[in-house]
Amino acid sequence: MPYKVASGRLRPTAASRNVTSSAGECGGKDQVSRSRLSGAVHLDREARHLSVVGATATGKTAAAVRYARRHAGVELVSVDAIAVYRGLDIGTAKPTPDERRDVTWHLLDVCDPGEEFSVARFQRHARAAVAGIEGRGHRVVLVGGTGLYHRALVDELALPGRYPEVAAALETEADGPDGLAGLYARLVVLDPTAATRVSPTNRRRLVRALEVVIGSGRPFSAAGPGLGHYGPTRFCLVGLTLPRDELDRRIAARLEAQFAAGFVDEVAALVTREGGLSRTARQALGYRELIEHVAGDMTLEEARAAILRRTRAFARRQESWFRRDPRIVWLEAQRRDFDEALDALAGTAGRAGDPARD
């Protein structure tokens, strides 16, 4: 897939500093200092960073690792809602030992499987990680496919507070006779604007919207400009894309590799651990189905088929989410010159890397 780079952007000059006229634009004219000292890439405090997004199985992790190894002073921040859990390794397709070698990662394995991990908690951790990376004069590369986590960081979303008792009562109500239809009817009355933005069947978002409305007394829709606003950001946003049949093939091949690596045994160990699994961890792709299999409620083949269906559907939703963001520049993940194209978009074309990491 072609990408657009303005004339002259592929010829950065050593020891020069180019500043973009638009904070939401990718390209060589970023605020990255071209000066080098002892093999490090030193960035201006206002330097823009890179974010690699896209559907599951498009090769985001591999692309980000290659980028980090080509360029000194790069640290990776995982943007994955489930990779934060220790012990959920195989099913989350976490970076392998080789993909962690000589690469600095953040936001992996930060909490126990029994803990709930929210977008607000991610935002706090990620902000701290980014501040530390910038303090070292390094460049941030976000990599992952959890859309809301990504927006919370690149757009500094103002997240509404949490009201656990209200949320617990709403969860109970969702399991009651009126179910999600009852919750949605309440949201229509209490916050009509939010109701137009939430699917009547999306339990998580319905509960969250009502939690904020009831707990704070303010409309959920009043929390900031909303996800439909795509303003300037310091991050250069690059999306990986694949033809649908190739994406489906990769998803299936990865699942087979996960089973061969011991996915079932990993889940069996998790469900018997002290502290159990949090609601979020139990609902993770593949884990939910294999928990049912381990409990004897589903055969292995039924679980395998269900995981495949759910993962493919999840990939479609990810594509839809990221395609709405007009700031993202899309690259075909299979193109032969992918690494060169990514460098050009990220403003690092022609920049020498650390010889020790090339």
Does domain 244-318 sit in CATH 1.10.10.10?
no
Q: What is the CATH number that goes with domain 164-222?
A: 1.10.20.140
Residue type at position 270 = L
User: What pLDDT does residue 224 have?
Assistant: 59
**E strand map for the chain:** 36-37, 40-41, 49-54, 74-78, 104-106, 139-143, 235-241, 329-332
Give the helix/strand (H/E) hosting 316.
helix 300-323
* 249-286 per-position pLDDT tens digit: 999 999 999 999 999 999 999 999 998 999 899 999 99
Choice among 29-33, 113-117, 188-192, 293-297 with the minimum mean pLDDT: 29-33
If one looks up domain 36-159+233-241+323-357 in CATH, what number appears?
Answer: 3.40.50.300
Distance CA 254, CA 249 (A): 9
Determine which of 159-163, 315-319, 323-327 has the lowest per-residue pLDDT on average: 159-163
Q: What confidence tens digit (pLDDT) does each residue in 127-152 have?
A: 999 999 999 999 999 999 999 999 99
Strand-strand pairing, 40-41 and 36-37: antiparallel
Domain boundaries, the chain: 36-159+233-241+323-357, 164-222, 244-318
